[in-house]
Amino acid sequence: MGQDVKVSRRLTILGDAEHYANVIGPLQEEMVHFHDHFTDDTLCTDKWEATSAGASAAIAVEHATYPGGMCRITTGTADATVEQLSTPLCWEDDMNAICEARILIADVSGVALFFGFSDLTAETSPAMPIDYDGGVLATPTGRDAVGFICDADDSVNGVSSIVCVGAVAGSLETAIDTDTDWADNKWHVLRVELNPDGDATFFLDKTRVGFMETAITSGTHMCITVAVANRDAAQDYVYIDRVDGWQDEVQNA
């Protein structure tokens, strides 16, 4: 076997090695890799900034409902109050940043969900990085964000539609409907890949579903974030199985 083995997309280990140790020696990634499967007893505040608004709202590690590592976002009961979970602002399109998460919405009719990159780690409730509050796509003034939305207030694409969105300094890009509806208690894997031009490619459950040219202002420092807004008068739940992020390593001159 040669010194450099090239695989186009995915390496799958089969046979007995699938269930036993299959790497001898260090597997060294050249990219920065952030990973949290929420297996700790509590949410790691070195990795995450958690912001909750509203009575009984909470963002916490939860192992009872789905064992194996999970974070649960519990909304308040007031309409439009927002809970947000964010990494530090250490991600950039110039470094080919990627974010991915596996997420479940318990009651799609009761929430708005945003997952992707944002230029702020916390919003002033009831704002989200981007949403359909009031039925119209909106973002706070001057803001940059890119990711997926599923919003019960979305009167354009449908109340359970999964939509790709972006905003450049507060100017919204044309949203892309993935033609997929989010069903209650359904897991989806959401992935956003940025390039050094600020373009974004979107993947839903490992399938490419959209490309957005100049989705954000290039060079903007971003966080990976999950934001959830309540859209009814009841408490609702969003479960995050894992969050991953990748980007190129900084190259010293």
Backbone angles phi, psi at 248, to 5 degrees: -65, 145
- Tally of domains within the chain: 1
Q: What are 141's two structure tokens?
A: 């003034």
Q: Where does residue 9 fall: left (phi above 0), alpha (psi -120 to 50 degrees), or beta otherwise?
A: alpha
State which residues form the domain around 137.
Answer: 29-248
Q: Is residue 203 part of a domain?
A: yes
Does any domain span residue 7?
no
Q: Quick check: is 148 in a domain?
A: yes
Q: Tell me the per-residue pLDDT of 69-119, one tens digit each, with 9 for 90 and over.
A: 999 999 999 988 999 999 999 999 999 999 999 999 999 999 999 999 999
Q: What per-residue confidence (pLDDT) applies to 253?
A: 46
pLDDT (mean) for 196-206: 97
Tell whether 210 is covered by a domain: yes
Residue 17 has pLDDT above 60, yes or no: no
pLDDT of 250:
83
- 74: CATH: 2.60.120.200
Mean of pLDDT values over 17-45: 84
- Per-residue pLDDT of 35-53, as tens digits, reads 999 999 999 999 999 999 8
